[in-house]
Structure 1
Amino acid sequence: MKNWWTGVKTRLRQDPERGDVPGWVLVTLMTAGLVVAIWALAGQLLEDVFRTAMERVLGA
Structure 2
Amino acid sequence: MGNWITERLRDERGDVPGWVLITLMTAGLVIVIWGLAGPALSGVFDQAIGRVLGF
TM-score (norm 1): 0.50
Alignment partner of 2:19: what SS? helix
Which whole-Å CA distance do the structure 2 matches of 1:8 and 1:37 have between them?
43
Q: Deviations over 1:14-60 (max 9, x none)?
A: 7xxxxxx610001100000001101111111122334455x3xxx43
Task: Report the alpha carbon displacement of residue 9 of structure 1 after superposing the two structures with TM.
Answer: 2.5
Q: Which runs of 5+ in 2 are unaligned?
A: 9-15
Alignment partner of 1:46: what SS? helix
* Aligned counterpart, 1:8: 2
Which whole-Å CA distance do the structure 2 matches of 1:49 and 1:28 have between them?
29
Which whole-Å CA distance do the structure 2 matches of 1:8 and 1:52 have between them?
61
Higher relative contact order (CA 8 A, sep 6+): 1
